[in-house]
Amino acid sequence: MIDIKFCEHNYNNGTENVVNRLKNDITDGEIEIVHCLGLCGECSTTPCALVNDKLIKASTPEKLYDKILKKSNEV
């Protein structure tokens, strides 16, 4: 099972679409949107998420989606 957490403030970097897509594509996991991940330096500049408590970031929301989906297939 995979645990994915997104900061609600990271939606400014395009992650809202990533969240919506992952909710449809990942059935064996939990996707949470939290107020703050405590990673403001990363979160304010790039699309990112915590995946099983490990920071995953990418240059675009599409690349972040791909990285998270790949990680979910490894679990």
Q: Could you report the per-residue pLDDT of 15-56, keeping only the tens digit for each?
A: 999 999 999 999 889 999 999 999 999 999 999 999 999 999
pTM tops 0.85, yes or no: yes
pLDDT for the residue 21 = 96
CA distance 9 to 48: 11
pLDDT at 75 over 80: no
What range does the domain containing 56 cover?
Answer: 2-74
How many domains are contained in the chain?
1
Residue closest to 4 by CA, chosen among 43, 51, 39, 38? 51
